[in-house]
Amino acid sequence: MKVQTISIGCDHAGFPYKEAILRLLKKRGIEVHDFGTSSPDSVDYPDFVHPAANEVETGKADLGIIMCGSGNGVAMTANKHPGIRAAVCWKTELAALARQHNNANMIAIPVRFVSKRMALAMVRTFLDTNFEGGRHARRVGKIPCGGKTPAGLETLPTLNE
């Protein structure tokens, strides 16, 4: 898959990293839909992640990059969108596996736990890695549950039984 368009969003913690990532994407000739934030002033990450996730979900962007301090808040927000598979990554191997095995379409970067250099390396890996399909496609196909309990899970015993 040749990535042509990226949506990007972050909170105040991610702002300095976003600026570096934007430079990388520009060098690669990738069109960027930047949903902010545009300063290091404190903001609420969902305000910037929902529009970025919507772009990926609706096909207006090929992939997305989201950032906050831990990566968890932005990933949780993005994953509320039915067509999104956002993966929190803190090393290049995770970014590669997120694409190869999970067909992740958004990478969530925990900027308080990775260097800017590592973040850039993860973005390069995420963009350059394709989904393998095969058995992984079957597994990824079982992720959505449409607001219902996935088939079979309601009959599984709990640890308390």
Q: Which of 33, 50, 101, 136 is catalytic?
A: 101
For this structure, is 101 an active site residue? yes
Q: What is the 3-state secondary structure (H, E, C) of the chain?
A: CCCCEEEEEECCCCHHHHHHHHHHHHHCCCEEEECCCCCCCCCCCHHHHHHHHHHHHCCCCCEEEEEECCCHHHHHHHCCCCCCCEEECCCHHHHHHHHHCCCCCEEEEECCCCCHHHHHHHHHHHHHCCCCCCHHHHHHHCCCCCCCCCCCHHHCCCCCC
On the CB side of 106, CA atoms within 13 Å amount to 35
Q: Which of 10, 33, 50, 68 is catalytic?
A: 68
Task: Please provide residue 33's backbone torsions phi and psi, each rounded to the nearest 5 degrees.
Answer: -105, 105
For this structure, is 68 an active site residue? yes
Question: Residues with catalytic annotation?
Answer: 68, 101
